[in-house]
Structure 1
Amino acid sequence: MTSAGDTRRAMLRKALLGAGAAVAYAGGMLPDIAVAAGIGTAARADRPDIVIFIADDLSWTDIAPNGSKDARTPHLDRLASDGTRFTRAFAASPTCTPSRSALLTGDYPMHNGAHSNHSSIFDNIGTLPAYLKAQGYRVVVAGKTDFGPPRDFPFEYLAGSTFHPDKKKAALLSRLHLEAVETLFATRDPEVPLALFVASYQPHVPWAKEPSYDPATLTLPANFVDTPEMRAAFAAYLTDVSDLDREVGVVRRSIATNGKADDTLFVFTVDHGAQLPFAKWTLNDPGIHVPFIAAWPGRVSAGRTTDAMISLTDLLPTVLDAAGAPSPQGIDGKSFLPVLTGDRDSFRDVVFASHTGDKNFNRSPMRAIRTDRWKLIVNLNASQMYVNAMTNNGRDERGFWSSWVERAKTDARAAELVRRYQHRPPVELYDLEADPYEAHNLADDPAYAAIRKTLSDRIDEWRIAQGEKLTDVPMPDDAHYGTHFYSEWR
């Protein structure tokens, strides 16, 4: 199906591509869209190194700098002490490919085409690696590559940075090997600025088989059903969070030993929330509220916390701004570099997020608008029971989830949590100050009708601007599918 957004994007590409031809860069040709967007070859001489570390499936609450009572994350603690920590950073989607594609294009998923998991962006859309290549950067990716097509993401793939014992299940079983990253820093040409994207597989499932946390001592989120299976799963998840923290430490040590420690912009963030209830695959805050910490000696304030609201679509223009390059016109993101440098205390008044699903399951498209206090979620296929890989598509055979379902047979609170998770109304409205776990839907309360209308109008405007028709229900089949990632990148 060709959507209005597809047509709009094609028209924009045609107009932009008429503006100039491609220019050469080391290792290939810069996509035409980068040239047309005004991201030309040349740059100031004092460009910083850039390291962007992207974790996989981690909710904002589950690291020590953000207040976790249990997670042991000393390297992230140190990073927060060395840089600025954001309390309101949000993913564009609670699913891997849409979120990563939004981060790397500066466009929300419906705008760039990759709105379903394992889909691809529209052809010839500008991407952060292409723009940085145009500025003379050596642009390298280590680890997970959950985006495509490869020609529009002109990374140098760091050989040896990924290991998977079973190639048929590479997406789930891969692990990050950091020896290749250490070698990169030890052997790189210091005269060529480096942009390194470290994409960890942690703490994506499968989680650790031998947890290093005691399940009995953990503090479970208030909207969890407290079962032995749930505690065991949470302990395994936190074990992988600690392993992720170790990876951050290795990369930062490599920078300190062989990199440009005094002139490296280091960003730590996450694609979206954990594979836990009310998190990944949902637009509840645990699904889209992500950790974000940035450090840059002499430029970013150390030990600072900011409540400025940002979207991960804003990372692309911010990184280009830090590199002294202009941002492409017409993208959804905008630079928050003034927030990083301490020149601004606020940024966005709202962020948006969307979820379409996975091609053959999780077919529950939803859209959300979030302010600092309010959240409105629109469920476009509310008549269908919400299922996903965690619930095993309704068969209730997945570890801790089956323990929720079993407990719900005799426990009213558990039954209510299971019901809320799998049966979602057309519209949800939450007061996040009074109800941080989004348990009390105010959408049908007349006292909040004005707030609902204001947010509904605004999300409708955004959906139309993204190329959606309000009468349509975009499904995974409607996303753009082209050449993708795993087999192509290795």
Structure 2
Amino acid sequence: MILNSKSKVVLLLIVFLNLSFAFGQKSNKSGNNKPNILLILSDDHSFPHVGCYGDENVLKYNLTPNLDSFAKEGMRFTRAYTTAPQCAPSRTSIFTSCSPVSIDVSRFGEPSRKEVPFFTDVLRENGYWVGLDGRNHHLDGAIESKNPMINEVLTKEGMKNLEQRFDHVARFNTKGENFSKVPERFNTVLSEIPENKPFFLYFGFNQPHRSFDEDYEEINPNDLVLPPDFPDLPEIRKDYARYLSDVRDMDKCMGYVLKVLADRKLDKNTIVIFMGDNGDSLLRGKGTLAGRGIHVPLIVRWPGVVKGNVSSVALVSGEDIGPTLLDALGLNFKKEVSGISFLSVLKGTPTGNERKYVFAERGFHAGPLIRTDGLDLSRSVTSSQYHFVFNALPKQEFAQVDMVKTKAWEELLKSHSENTLGETYNRLYFYKERPIFELYDLNRDPFELNNLAGQKESIEIEKTLRNEMEAKMLKDHDFLPLPSDVIEYGKKKKAKTEE
């Protein structure tokens, strides 16, 4: 058969399309078309300390221009929470997609058992290169211990296993002299990834974890708007300014990382997740189950899938990150986890089956067993409107985690001793005994100053949240007594006293 010129062109086009399809199929099998994943955690960074959330202080000094630009390219969540107000259990929960209590990691620096899967295990089994770098991730226990026996036991029991679970494991401090080296470090890590292989990379920032630099770089402490639960004291203002300065440094690190990603032309095919690992180490923050301790920023950019500059009020827990990423790739854990995928929210097609409650817990941290900076046993449940807290150790003296050796804390103590602090702050920070139960209406009382627990008008709401908490505690095999048991004991004790 003799073909004319037009037929030849058509035939060549068909051959070209077939070859293109064949190569495309080969690419699919090798995983080249799978999105890369970059998970970035800031350290002790609570909501709303990013400009895109409308924080007055951040906006006034333009402290987070890189995160604000990043948010315009993705979805920012206004109701994201961590499962614990401490770094180690929170991060472990993110990787295991389980609550800390359910996998026995409620003690700070306690790694999960070797048989507990990470979502990165599933990624690796499906062709991903997986790596950890940046801020100490605590996933295999405390890095240093004065007792060598601890590391020996953890190693013997197979709980120190990151080297086996990840293709790259390293630690890098993004503060101090290393601050300017973040781009070089990030570039070096990316260079380790085999060509044509999708990757997952965790990269953690040390900012804004204490300690802070003494210089707050042109941030005027006297101009800051203090939250209503912060006493207006000079050292409290300076401490807050130093924290915000560290937030600014963290944002610069974020800018470095995003630029490297763009320079390598990886930005269009990489899901980037930015999240705080727990709340700030300021008053009623880190280590507490007050909102500031567990409410964190969460921003997700996924070009071509997630619309830019959108906000979501969906409740999200740190344990939901893994299931969402796996769901995006058509993958699942082999065993049940408590994390819930929010992929439908990211895609703008919520199904109505999204999370209705988020849960958090607090256990041992480090320090005195008689103060809350060392030990606290508490649980919380948060709905779209209410926050309910169960304090199992109501007589614990309040001491803010990581803050008790600062000038700000000393000034707070001094003001209290001189009886100049004020009734509200004395009640919050120097109680003789705190309430066993706390209930707050977040719509009317976002800073949680008015405890509604036990009031007649809120009995049904309190009961609903208490039931949800107890159901969670039962599922997790929680070691704490159930709130209803505490109530029943209180009734019996009161009746016996009245006799």
Q: What TM-score does the superposition give when structure 2 sets the normalisation length? A: 0.79
Q: Look up the match of 1:107.
A: 98
Question: Match of 2:365, as an amino acid?
Answer: D
Specify the SS of the correspondent of 2:300.
Answer: strand
- 1:192 and 2:197 aligned: yes
The alpha-carbon deviation at position 414 of structure 1 amounts to 3.6
Q: Look up the match of 1:369.
A: 381
Question: Match of 1:84, as an amino acid?
Answer: M
Question: Match of 1:195, as an amino acid?
Answer: F
Task: Tell whether the 8 Å contact from 1:283 to 1:368 is kept in structure 2 after alignment.
Answer: yes
| CA distance in 1: counterparts of 2:244 and 2:89, whole angstroms | 25
| CA distance in 2: counterparts of 1:305 and 1:165, whole angstroms | 34
Task: Tell whether the 8 Å contact from 2:378 to 2:391 is kept in structure 1 after alignment.
Answer: yes
Q: Any residues of structure 2 matched to 1:101-140 within 5 Å, and which?
A: 101-140=92-131
Q: Look up the match of 2:361.
A: 354
1:201 to 195, 202, 206: 206
Task: Tell whether the 8 Å contact from 1:175 to 1:200 is kept in structure 2 after alignment.
Answer: no
| CA distance in 2: counterparts of 1:112 and 1:194, whole angstroms | 27
| CA distance in 2: counterparts of 1:75 and 1:275, whole angstroms | 23
1:9-61 deviation per Cα after TM superposition (whole angstroms, max 9, x unaligned): xxxxxxxxxxxxxxxxxxxxxxxxxxxxxxxxx88552101000000001111
Q: Look up the match of 2:443.
A: 433
- Alpha-carbon spacing, 1:360–1:405, altered in 2? closer, same or farther (3 Å): closer
- 1:299 and 2:299 aligned: no
1:380 to 392, 395, 412: 392
| CA distance in 2: counterparts of 1:109 and 1:251, whole angstroms | 30
Q: Any residues of structure 2 matched to 1:61-460 within 5 Å, and which?
A: 61-71=48-58, 72-143=63-134, 144-148=136-140, 149-151=159-161, 154-157=165-168, 159=170, 161-162=172-173, 177-186=182-191, 188-212=193-217, 213-344=219-350, 347-361=354-368, 362-390=374-402, 392=404, 397-410=405-418, 414-423=422-431, 424-460=434-470
- Alpha-carbon spacing, 1:340–1:270, altered in 2? closer, same or farther (3 Å): same
Specify the SS of the correspondent of 1:70.
Answer: helix
Instruction: Give unpaired runs (5+ residues) of structure 1.
Output: 1-41, 167-172, 474-490
The alpha-carbon deviation at position 260 of structure 1 amounts to 1.9
- Alpha-carbon spacing, 1:413–1:383, altered in 2? closer, same or farther (3 Å): same
Q: Look up the match of 1:25.
A: none
Question: Match of 2:56, as an amino acid?
Answer: K
- Alpha-carbon spacing, 1:207–1:356, altered in 2? closer, same or farther (3 Å): same
- Alpha-carbon spacing, 1:156–1:216, altered in 2? closer, same or farther (3 Å): farther
1:398-442 deviation per Cα after TM superposition (whole angstroms, max 9, x unaligned): 321121222234566545324323542111111111111111111
Question: Match of 1:73, as an amino acid?
Answer: T
| CA distance in 1: counterparts of 2:65 and 2:273, whole angstroms | 16
Q: Any residues of structure 2 matched to 1:39-54 within 5 Å, and which?
A: 45-54=32-41
| CA distance in 2: counterparts of 1:207 and 1:53, whole angstroms | 20
The alpha-carbon deviation at position 318 of structure 1 amounts to 0.8
1:175-229 deviation per Cα after TM superposition (whole angstroms, max 9, x unaligned): 9844121233356433011111111111000012211212122111111011110
- Alpha-carbon spacing, 1:110–1:175, altered in 2? closer, same or farther (3 Å): farther
The alpha-carbon deviation at position 469 of structure 1 amounts to 4.3
The alpha-carbon deviation at position 249 of structure 1 amounts to 0.8
Question: Match of 1:49, as an amino acid?
Answer: N
Q: What TM-score does the superposition give when structure 1 sets the normalisation length? A: 0.81
The alpha-carbon deviation at position 119 of structure 1 amounts to 1.3
The alpha-carbon deviation at position 457 of structure 1 amounts to 1.5
Specify the SS of the correspondent of 1:146.
Answer: coil
Instruction: Give aligned-pair identity as a percent.
Output: 28
The alpha-carbon deviation at position 162 of structure 1 amounts to 3.6
Q: Look up the match of 1:462.
A: 472
Task: Tell whether the 8 Å contact from 2:129 to 2:193 is kept in structure 1 after alignment.
Answer: no
Task: Tell whether the 8 Å contact from 2:415 to 2:421 is kept in structure 1 after alignment.
Answer: no
The alpha-carbon deviation at position 461 of structure 1 amounts to 1.2
| CA distance in 1: counterparts of 2:189 and 2:102, whole angstroms | 35
Task: Tell whether the 8 Å contact from 1:377 to 1:427 is kept in structure 2 after alignment.
Answer: yes
| CA distance in 1: counterparts of 2:75 and 2:174, whole angstroms | 32
| CA distance in 2: counterparts of 1:126 and 1:305, whole angstroms | 31
The alpha-carbon deviation at position 174 of structure 1 amounts to 10
Question: Match of 2:166, as an amino acid?
Answer: F
The alpha-carbon deviation at position 251 of structure 1 amounts to 0.9
| CA distance in 2: counterparts of 1:67 and 1:109, whole angstroms | 31
Task: Tell whether the 8 Å contact from 2:182 to 2:257 is kept in structure 1 after alignment.
Answer: no
RMSD, matched Cα:
2.5
Q: Look up the match of 2:146.
A: none
Question: Match of 1:386, as an amino acid?
Answer: F
1:275-312 deviation per Cα after TM superposition (whole angstroms, max 9, x unaligned): 00111111111111110000011011111111111111
Task: Tell whether the 8 Å contact from 1:70 to 1:219 is kept in structure 2 after alignment.
Answer: yes
Range that drifts further, 315-324 or 224-233:
315-324
Task: Tell whether the 8 Å contact from 2:82 to 2:90 is kept in structure 1 after alignment.
Answer: yes
Q: Which has the larger radius of gyration?
A: 2
The alpha-carbon deviation at position 322 of structure 1 amounts to 2.2
Task: Tell whether the 8 Å contact from 1:49 to 1:264 is kept in structure 2 after alignment.
Answer: yes
1:213-269 deviation per Cα after TM superposition (whole angstroms, max 9, x unaligned): 121221111110111101111111111101110111111111111142211100000
| CA distance in 2: counterparts of 1:111 and 1:375, whole angstroms | 21
